Amino acid sequence: DIQMTQSPSSLSASVGDRVTITCRASQSISSYLNWYQQKPGKAPKLLIYAASSLQSGVPSRFSGSGSGTDFTLTISSLQPEDFATYYCQQSYSTPATFGPGTKVDIK
């Protein structure tokens, strides 16, 4: 199975900050990487697919980059509604696997 890691596991940031979350795969997954946002008590929401494609309806302050084993989710200007946990997920091979998550909270 492909293992996914994320860093940091948590971070504190202020509204307006630029936030970067890193995801790493245990082997090359090309650009088969998706990002999800989850708020407490809610189902996850798709943000980014294919490493850098913005899902319809997702604000443009979210962006994704990377290929191979290293990927990044960037929030260009953190908004109050962005405080949540973010997960990466690889779709390169089955079984699909998620990263452990990165919790973004208010500084």
Partner 1 sequence: QVTLKESGPVLVKPTETLTLTCTVSGFSLSNARMGVSWIRQPPGKALEWLAHIFSNDEKSYSTSLKSRLTISKDTSKSQVVLTMTNMDPVDTATYYCARIAHQPPGTTTAYYYYYMDVWGKGTTVTVSS
Closest CB 38 distance from partner 1, rounded Å: 8
Closest CB 78 distance from partner 1, rounded Å: 22
Closest to partner 1 by CB, 5 or 77: 5
Closest CB 16 distance from partner 1, rounded Å: 28
> What DSSP letter does each residue of 36-50 carry, written as one string?
EEE-TTS--EEEEET
Closest CB 96 distance from partner 1, rounded Å: 4
Q: Which residues bind partner 1 (CB under 8 A)?
A: 1, 30-32, 34, 36, 38, 42-46, 49-50, 53, 55, 87, 89, 91-92, 94-101
What's the rounded Cα separation, in Å, for the pair 57 and 60? Answer: 9
3-state secondary structure of 80: helix
DSSP 26: S
Closest to partner 1 by CB, 34 or 78: 34
Bridge-based pairing of strands 70-75 and 85-90 is unpaired
What's the rounded Cα separation, in Å, for the pair 43 and 36? Answer: 10
Closest to partner 1 by CB, 71 or 89: 89
